[in-house]
Amino acid sequence: MPESFTLTRVLPATPQQIYEAWLDDAGHTEMTGGALATCDARPGGRFTAWDGYIEGTNVELVPNRRIAQDWRTSEFPDDAPDSRLVIDLEPSNGGTLLTLTHTNIPDGQGDSYKVGWVDNYFEPMHEYFRTVY
């Protein structure tokens, strides 16, 4: 049965700064400290992150408020459908409350991705935005 979870984090940046970095090749790469990312910042646009480990398509883009993506990694079984990633951004106490909802994850992989989001996105993003802005 597919798995899902929701994570939240307040980041020291505006919704616009996070939104723009998430959908920009250099910004995404820099804010995660990861390998090369590519982003076509349009609905239907394709993206990759972590040197192709993550790939998908932008499904819904609401500037500075929401990013929804069909999302998968190279660890998904070949016959597994894409998962859905939704990033919601809300101003909060001098920063932004980022709410990440990840659904339709292949059975048995949810806990690994939950840890991965914290270790490979939330922590480096917090440091990046704290330092850059």
**Domain residues for 35?**
3-132
Sequence-distant (6+) residues with CB within 8 A of 106 are: 2, 3, 76, 77, 80, 83
Average pLDDT over residues 82-94: 96
Which two structure tokens, joined as six digits, stand for 11?
A: 């980041």
The pLDDT tens digits for 99-112 are 999 999 999 999 99
Q: Is residue 132's pLDDT more than 90?
A: no
Give the domain CATH number at 44. Answer: 3.30.530.20
How far apart (Å, rounded) are the C-alpha atoms in residues 32 and 29?
6
Q: Is residue 10's pLDDT more than 90?
A: yes
Predicted local distance difference test score (pLDDT) of residue 133? 67
The pLDDT tens digits for 13-31 are 999 999 999 999 999 999 9
Amino acid letter for position 65: R
How far apart (Å, rounded) are the C-alpha atoms in residues 46 and 108?
26
Q: What's the pTM value of the predicted model, to 2 decimals?
A: 0.94
The pLDDT tens digits for 27-82 are 999 999 987 899 999 999 999 999 999 999 999 999 999 999 999 999 999 999 99
Tally of domains in the chain:
1
